[in-house]
Amino acid sequence: MFETLDKLMLAGLGAMTMTKERAEQIFDEYVEKGRATRDQRSGFVRDLLDQADKARRDMEKMIAEQVKKAIDQTNLATKEDVICLSEKLDQISLQVSAINLTKKME
């Protein structure tokens, strides 16, 4: 009975911002229309909030993947690239210092 409602709720952006109060309000509307009984409330609310949370996580994952894809296509340096370059620069600086020290000792 609630499966259709759940799918409709999750299909829209409204599911992304589902609150306990809103889930309870939706359930109360079902009770008023005779589609549910009060003893089903906690399960309905919990299920609806769990599904909304899953929808949020799925949306965040999808957004993160799209952002990563966009960044990869721009050929920008990654954090790892910058760290690697910084380490190489440190090595070169040490080598230059060693060469300068050797020249001073000659």
**What digits encode the pLDDT tens for the residues 5-45?**
455 555 555 656 667 888 888 888 888 888 878 888 778 88
- Please provide the size of the chain in residues: 106
pLDDT at position 3, please? 55
Domains of the chain, residue spans = 2-75, 77-106
Structure tokens at 53: 């949370």
CA pseudo-torsion sign 85, 91, 95, 98: positive
CA 91 to CA 105: how far, in whole Å? 21
